[in-house]
Amino acid sequence: MNTAPHPAAARAVTGWSVAGLVLLVPTVVVAWIAVLATYRGSRCLTYGEQCSTVPGEALYGCFWVALAAGLLALMWPRARWTGARIGVVLLQWGAQLMLGALILSGA
């Protein structure tokens, strides 16, 4: 039985991991711009009123999980456990999308 991963699958996993890492900071910036463009967001920024009830720890946690998972997927040897690498990349993207959603929910 051939257990070697398909090279195209390994490249695809790496590509998705790199794409997530490249888009992590722009996701955060664009989400915050969208929130601050609302009445509630600008009121929070200016007067400290009507701010989001999402705890900052949740935002930081999602950011660091997405970053760590992306780096782990990149550092993981391509020739081993491609299924686990796929799971790590899915965790990375899930945390990143959750981060954007949590920021946007504060609007």
Digit-coded pLDDT (tens) for 62-107: 999 999 999 999 998 877 788 889 999 999 999 999 999 999 987 5
Whether 3 shows a pLDDT value over 80: the answer reads: no
| Amino acid letter for position 16 | W
pTM: 0.85
- CA dist list (Å): 33 to 15, 30, 45, 93, 100: 27, 5, 12, 21, 11
| Amino acid letter for position 60 | Y
44 near 50, Cβ under 8 Å? yes
